[in-house]
Amino acid sequence: MASFNDDSAQYLISTVSKRSGVKSDLVRAWERRYQAVTPTRTAGGHRVYTDQDIARLKLLNQATSNGHSISQIARFSLDDLKNLLKNETGTTVQALPALTYAAHDRIYLAEDYIEKCYATVLAFDARSLESHFENAIVELGSEAFIEHLLTPLLTRIGDRWKTGELRPVHEHMTSAIIRSLTYILRNNNPCAADSPRMIVSTPIGQLHELGALLAAIMAELKGWQVTYLGANLPAEEIAAAVKYTNARAVTISLSFSTDDHVVPKELRRLKKLIGNNVALIVGGRAAAHFKSVLDEVEVLNIQSYEHFRRLLDKLGTNGVE
């Protein structure tokens, strides 16, 4: 059996991920895009890594959490990485923040990516789309990726579907890739046990789920412990989840403006079940359509991701006032 710190020691990616704190998908992305580590392969084709690789990944994880761009540090030696981090201990750790870009640069970069990604969607090239997404997550950081790339890209795909330039299958391919990337996008760092909890879902009849999923990821990036329930749930089930988790907030996404009375009825019922001590947050492209019931049950109606982030900070610190 291999001894500790033996350079020939061999570990499968699941062990590497556990020991380095870097999710397996991200290890593969860093390897493929930046050669951050260069594993060998078993006869069966599985990647195997050394203790050195695990040490590198740990340091790279810390350095990217401190704001360094993986593209710039991926090939640093172990010593260079240690030196880089020497004076940076105690820095706030965030998930993939990509702080090396100024906000406006990130928006330009995202616009570039939108064009590249849209071209691969049009060409129905899932592999290239996935690879653009992985690069973009690393370069932009999760929040900017969601806000400035994914959301406008999905909206464009939806619009072009309507005009006939794309088919439903283009959107399905894109959505499936996004779901598979969810856990790279999510917070890589364990939440403190006492961080506030949130339930995210959509009410009965609201079948569009990506807006809710992205809002859930955003909340997690803000340090909330989020339980994402998917779409189309009755108020009773959402309220039960609040009880089980002792959640401080429920976030509901509304994407379909319909005049049936299901959404107003469900929101009234949900508010009644969760009471006034749990914040009820509603966002999404159709939220404005339901304004009168939102006002009536006093939900927190969110207009933008920036608004959402500010509200989460406030609720995270003070709870519902």
Question: Which of 110, 251, 266, 280 lies at the binding interface for ligand B12 (CB under 6 A)?
Answer: 251
Piece of 29-37, 42-50, 155-163, 220-228 that binds ligand B12 (CB under 6 A): 155-163
Please identify, using beta-carbon distances, which residue of 39 and 284 lies nearer to ligand B12: 284
Closest distance to ligand B12 from the beta carbon of 131 (Å) = 21
Please count the other Cβ atoms lying within 10 Å of the Cβ belonging to residue 296.
13
Which of 155, 243, 275, 298 contacts ligand B12 by CB under 6 A? 155
Tell me the C-alpha distance between 206 and 84, whole Å. Answer: 48
Q: Which of 21, 67, 158, 234 binds ligand B12 (CB under 6 A)?
A: 158
Count of residues binding ligand B12 (CB under 6 A)? 31
Q: What is the largest CA-CA distance in the chain?
A: 67
d(CA 1, CA 88): 36
Q: What's the closest the beta carbon of residue 309 comes to ligand B12, in angstroms?
A: 9
Q: Per rule CB under 6 A, is residue 162 in the interface with ligand B12?
A: yes
Return the amino acid letter for 31. Answer: E
Cβ closest to ligand B12, residue 88 vs residue 111: 111
316 binds ligand B12 (CB under 6 A): no
| Contacts to ligand B12 from residues 291-310, by CB under 6 A | 302, 305, 308
| Closer residue to ligand B12 in complex, CB, 81/212 | 212
Could you say which of 33, 116, 208, 265 contacts ligand B12 (CB under 6 A)? 208
The two three-digit tokens of residue 81, written as one number: 């990485």
Is 180 a binder of ligand B12 (CB under 6 A)? Answer: no
Instruction: Report the C-alpha gap between 82 and 93 in whole angstroms.
Output: 17
Q: Which is nearer to ligand B12, 11 or 308 (CB)?
A: 308
How many other C-beta atoms are found inside a 10 Å radius of the C-beta of residue 55?
16
Determine contact, residues 266/203, Cβ cutoff 8 Å.
yes
For ligand B12, the binding residue among 25, 143, 209, 266 (CB under 6 A) is 209
What are the two backbone dihedrals, phi and then psi, of residue 199, each rounded to the nearest 5 degrees?
-110, 135
210 scored as a contact of ligand B12 (CB under 6 A): yes
CA distances from 71 to 29, 59, 134, 164, 257 (A): 11, 14, 12, 38, 42
| DSSP codes, 96-112 | S--TTS-HHHHHHHHHH
Q: Please, are residues 14 and 24 in contact by the beta-carbon 8 Å criterion? A: yes
Residue ranges binding ligand B12 (CB under 6 A)? 151, 154-155, 158-159, 161-162, 171, 205-212, 214-215, 251, 253, 255-257, 281, 283-286, 302, 305, 308
